[in-house]
Amino acid sequence: MSLATGLHYSGPYTMPHVSSLPDLLARPELLELLAELRRAATGTRPEEALVRLLAARTGGRAEVYASWGPLVAGAGEPPAGVSPQSLRLTHGRRHVGRLELWLPPEWAALGSLAAEYALLARLQTAAAGAARRRVGERTLDALLSGVSDPATLGPDAYAVAVAGLGPAVGRGAGARAAQAHALDVLAGAGEGYFAERVGQGLCTVRGDQAVWLWPARDLLREAEELYEALKASTGPSVRLGVSGLHRRTAPVQALQEAQQALSSLAGRPGHQIFQQMDPLYALLTQGRLTPLRRQVQALLADLDDGGRTESTLRAYLAHQGTLAELAEQQNVHVNTLRYRLRRAEQALDGSLSDPALLARLYLAFSPAGDP
């Protein structure tokens, strides 16, 4: 009699009556299966070993997914007419992955037990990643501090990413400990992504930020996938800034780019790549354009027309079509539009055909520069 039929399950997730448990626990088939599951889940490649074992034992299919979505390991074929069991793998409040099982009816109740060993396999992989990260932390800290020669990174392109979380809830030691733990989880999630999808990468925690450096091959895709991995593991409040591609340059420059990209999110969840951020962001947000903005607004305010000229000028700068089209959008006659633009030129002592004046106005009226 096989172990599956010997358990006498009446349906999925229906456990045997408690009075039968002593006899069940003494069955050599059960002890053998538990030993095999433990060996698989604690081996060098635990997810692969576990799904192979489950597929071979049950004649079904098993798949283990990372917390951010991609398949980590899969084996076997789904039996005809069998719907999959989807089992979320969590450790504490941390989502670490998902187990998908296609099991014949007589093996259906194995799902809950298999999920526990799949969780053990994922934690085993995470522990190995943590050990790698401790080595990588020293290497990356040395690179970012300028102690280590960047030539050790080789000739290939690399990128740096920086992630932060929302503000800590509370100011006590408990809140600080919780924030430190959340940062460690964040760092581990990114390290796991790079280990499984890119093959290598360095990771550390600096202050209230997690930092990664990796050999980038497809920066846009990798940035998007890294953000999704972090969000799936730590929640939607995560923010991520990513540098541009670098070769044979000191990583501190890439770190600065990643931090600028992160700061451009202004505390909002999301991710930003350095090349895609507004190149005037730092200038606009550090108050350096405040005198220009106030000067332009003061000159236009002297017209004392309730702000109509300034509003028209802003619309003119944002418009791509003809004056007639703009006048229609503003619900004014085209001559009224021309009159207001002439008044703006007089107040500003310049011509709207002058590139220098236009540049000043675009900077002064930039949304990022508004108070």
Task: Categorize the per-residue pLDDT at 285 as very low, low, confident or very high, splitting at 50, 70 and 90.
Answer: low
For residue 195, give Cα distances in angstroms to 189, 216, 367. 10, 13, 40
Tens digit of each residue's pLDDT (9 = 90 or more) over 54-91: 999 899 999 998 876 778 899 999 999 889 999 998 87
Mean pLDDT of 297-316: 88
What's the one-letter identity of residue 276?
Q
To the nearest 10°, the Cα dihedral for 230, 235, 237, 243?
A: 0
Report the distance separating Cα 230 and Cα 189, nearest Å: 6
Query: Contact 137/112 with Cβ under 8 angstroms?
Result: no
pLDDT the model gives residue 276: 84
The angle formed by the CA atoms of residues 141, 131 and 96, to the nearest 5 degrees, is 105
Q: How far is CA 197 from CA 70, 201, 314, in A?
A: 9, 10, 47
The token duo for 38 is 């433990």
Quickly state the pLDDT bin for 138 (edges 50, 70, 90): confident
User: Per residue in 101-116, pLDDT tens?
Assistant: 999 988 888 888 999 9
Report angle CA 69, 255, 368 to the nearest 5 degrees.
85
Strand partners, 62: 75, 101
Q: Is the pLDDT of residue 364 over 60?
A: yes
What is the model's pTM?
A: 0.57
Residue 5 has pLDDT above 50, yes or no: no
Specify the residue for token string 């599956």.
4
d(CA 118, CA 113): 9
Among 256, 236, 178, 242, residue whose Cα is nearest residue 212:
242
Q: What is the pLDDT of residues 211-253, one digit of tens each?
A: 999 999 899 999 999 998 888 777 778 899 999 988 878 899 8
Mean pLDDT of the chain: 81
Q: Is the pLDDT of residue 21 over 50?
A: no
The sign of the CA dihedral 126, 225, 89, 174 is positive
